[in-house]
Amino acid sequence: MSVTVVGSIAFDAVQTPHGGRERMLGGAAVHFSLAASFFDDVRVVGPVGDDFGDAEYAVLHGRGVDTDDIEHVAGGKTFFWSGVYHENMNSRDTLETDLNVFETFDPKLSRESLDAEVVFLANILPALQLNVRKQCNRAKFVALDSMDLWINIAREALVAAISAVDCVILNDSEVALLTGEREVVAGARKIMQHGPQAMVVKLGKYGAALVTPEDSFWVPAFPVDFVADPTGAGDSFAGGFVGCVAAHGGEAGIDVLKLAMAYGTAIASYNVEEFGTERVARLTGPEIVERVKELRRITAFDTPDVTLKG
């Protein structure tokens, strides 16, 4: 099996209540790739400028990520984002967004990337997502992420892209904006009416929900002792989730999806402990397994029922 991810490669500047970084490696495709690389071979597709050099490639190569389809735009600058997180760490203010080479990004996939059995369409223009999906006709499992901007200005194109994938990953506010439904399950099932067989709803520091036409499954966020930087947590979650599906041959039955939720949650919990890619870049498989085991322990109970009055 192999995984192809198409999305942003970026430099981020972040300030949180616990410090900050003026320039760190980021972008949805980067965070996803590092997480998914624990499960399968990953090919990353995205644009960079002249400022993206050996040190940045080394982070991806350190996890065995194939970077042959990274497009180097001569004379250009890599996508840059800066933001400040509030005290609750669940909301943030964007200070600056410079699309740079990302503004004219038109994904170009090699034959190897096109032949991937599992594909993740990270947050890019919905029309581009649909175009990539149509090209990846061998994929057994395709997941998609998006954002409020596309819901507001490209809703029709986004719905078309959603209708062509197997799983959609959005946060709860995006689900509400897209559907008008305030409740997670109702909103998720409304989105699935367009074609996907599964929805993952990210709930920030409260965890995530998996919703299928017949079932729902909820995983809390792992209770870490310290959150340094939430940037990239959602994409790290997606990498663990989709990577786990890839490790199961792209077969996305309910039991595999539930397990994928746990692995995505575990990896995301490491992501937030340090800034940017710092923690996940040196993460190990045994560490991930340990947190999945702990998730099982803290979310399961098998005790006798209480006899109730009345």
Let me know if 113 is exposed, middle or buried by CB neighbors in 10 A (0-12, 13-18, 19+).
buried
Q: What percent of the chain has pLDDT over 70?
A: 100
Cβ atoms of 62 and 31 within 8 Å: the answer is no
Q: Per-residue pLDDT tens for 42-73?
A: 999 999 999 999 999 999 999 999 999 999 99
- The answer to whether the CB of 8 falls within 8 A of the CB of 140 is no
Q: Which pLDDT belongs to residue 307?
A: 93
**Predicted local confidence at residue 90, as pLDDT:** 77
Q: Read off the pLDDT of residues 104-121 as tens digits, 9 standing for 90 and up.
A: 999 999 999 999 999 999
pTM: 0.96
Instruction: Classify the phi-psi angles of 232: left when phi > 0, otherwise alpha if psi is within -120 to 50, otherwise beta.
Output: left
Examine the pLDDT at 29 and tell me if it is beyond 80: yes
Query: Which residues lie closer than 8 Å to 6 by C-beta, 6 or more apart?
Result: 29, 45, 46, 107, 109, 119, 120, 121, 122, 124, 128, 129, 132
pLDDT tens track for 184-220? 999 999 999 999 999 999 999 999 999 999 999 999 9
Domains and CATH numbers, the chain: 2-299 (3.40.1190.20)
Residue-wise pLDDT for 250-306, tens only, equals 999 999 999 999 999 999 999 999 999 999 999 999 999 999 999 999 999 888 999
**CB under 8 A, 24+ apart: contacts of 295-299:** 295/219, 295/222, 295/262, 295/265, 295/266, 296/262, 298/220, 298/223, 299/219, 299/220
Give me the amino acid identity at 110: S
